Chain A
Amino acid sequence: MTNETNTTAIVQRPSFLKAVMAIVQKDLSAEFRSRELLSAMLVFSMLVILIFNFALELNIDVRRTVTAGVLWTTFAFAGTLGLNRSMAVEKDRGCMDGLLLAPVDRSAIFFGKAISNLAFMLIVEAIVIPLYALLYNETRIFQLEFLGVLLLGSIGYISVGTLLSAMSVQTRTRDVLLPILLFPVAVPVLLASVKASGGIIEGLPLNDILTPINLLIVYDIVFIAISFMVFDFVVEE
């Protein structure tokens, strides 16, 4: 052990974007090394898809109508698992305090966590969708419009979920509390996502599914703005 010499740290106030990217990179590095969160989300999603496959006797018409519902149910539950775990990692070892102690705008923490949560959810979706297509012989889910709706829905779900998981993680019943808080608030985004995705699978013209898509865009903007404004108060005692 040695005393500190004179290599004084040259400190600047970190930019918002650099802080966000530091959190994202940290989360991705830690997760790709441990694979705790992704493996839990993936195994859970695959089990749900398999259970639906065995539970529902699906002819081609029924399949067309239930695909969006099955997929969004799977992603919503798997997303909750990921959101809980992602914030618990910060809380359990006091790392959330470490983030809060950094001299950055605290909404940077929200955006960093939300972007990494979104990345995990999109990775799960990228694996689950081909699996679903294989099991259900349903190839219309590879349309660009469907994937666009998937992205919009995931952004909305993750933005509200990251905010609520920052609240619920501070309680003893966080595993139970997050879905109880999240699902009622996320109903509009889930309904709009199912409606828009279902419409695309059924081959409806874009005009017929414009309303749920617009609702998704508005929901995303509103919840990102709300989270930006209130995250500081949510995480501070």
Chain B
Amino acid sequence: MIEVKKLVKRFGLKTILRGLDFHVEPGEFVALLGPNGAGKTTFLRILASLSRPSLGTVHVAGYSLPNESAQVRARLGVVSHMPLLYPDLTAEENLEFYARMYGIMNAAPRITEVLGMVGLEARRKDLVRTFSRGMQQRLAIGRAIIHDPEVVLFDEPYTGLDQDASTMLDEVLRSVAAKGRTVVMTSHDLARAEDLATRFDILSRGVITASAKRSDFKNTNLLDFYKKALAG
């Protein structure tokens, strides 16, 4: 579903990604972990076609980036720590706007379904500016899956959320993944990542330094694996 080979990203003289290789099978939930400045957000922005690779090849859902970026964007949903929502529009109006931008025919039932899924049906007529951070993040997930994408990217989705909001977000993330979507999530929250993901990749200094599946953790745990990967 995602195939990245020898990806390099430079900003001026600074090299952020240094020949990164990454492969994700359809339906996998990959947690991309790493310290601050490792290049996680830069990598996700390239997968989302928001940034161009300097070198290397990137394929998402069978389409090449940046040449076929419109086809990739039609099959991709993105949730970042910013909600990408308009505070002066209601929850419903925000989803209606994005439904139009994605060319969704007869969007009303889909909007109702998505609002129900993220637990905001009762607040559909309320302005987003009246929402708590947790509610905005749930609506952001609704926005990202409104067009039923094959791949969903989450960039630090738990940033700024309290415990209750994070627990609610866990449920939403599980339901997003449950439909067989391919999910890539960056996070600093190892416990949550361990709970949700089926595979764990460690990104450090612009390359993937270690990768493990959930089934590999019999005599160890994610924290030990993470520490070893960064030490090595």
Task: Give the interface of A toward B (CB within 8 A).
Answer: 1-5, 7-15, 18-19, 22-23, 25-26, 29-31, 33-34, 89, 93-95, 97-105, 236-237
Contact = CB atoms under 8 A, between A and B. Distances in A.
Contact of B70 (A93, A97, A103): A103
A8 to B, nearest CB: 6
B101 A4 contact: no
B147 A26 contact: no
Interface string B196-221: 00000000000000000000000000
Interface of B: 45, 48-52, 70-71, 73-74, 76, 78, 80, 82-89, 93, 97-107, 109-110, 113-114, 116-119, 127, 143, 145-148, 168, 171-172, 175-176, 178-179
A1 B172 contact: yes
Given A19-B100, A97-B84, 17 more contacts: A2-B117, A3-B175, A4-B114, A7-B113, A11-B104, A22-B100, A22-B101, A23-B101, A25-B97, A26-B97, A93-B86, A94-B83, A94-B84, A101-B49, A103-B70, A104-B101, A237-B50
Nearest to A8: B148
B70 A101 contact: no
Choose among A7, A101, A102, A104 the residue with the greatest number of B CB atoms under 10 Å from its CB.
A101
Contacts, number: 134
22 contacts: A1-B116, A1-B117, A1-B118, A7-B109, A9-B99, A9-B107, A9-B146, A9-B147, A11-B104, A14-B102, A14-B103, A22-B100, A26-B89, A29-B93, A94-B84, A97-B50, A97-B80, A98-B85, A101-B48, A103-B74, A103-B102, A236-B51
Contacts of A22: 97, 100-101
A1 B78 contact: no
6 tightest A-B CB contacts, nearest first: A94-B82, A14-B103, A98-B84, A102-B101, A103-B74, A22-B100
Nearest to A109: B101
Contacts of A105: 70
A72 B76 CA distance: 45
B70 A14 contact: no
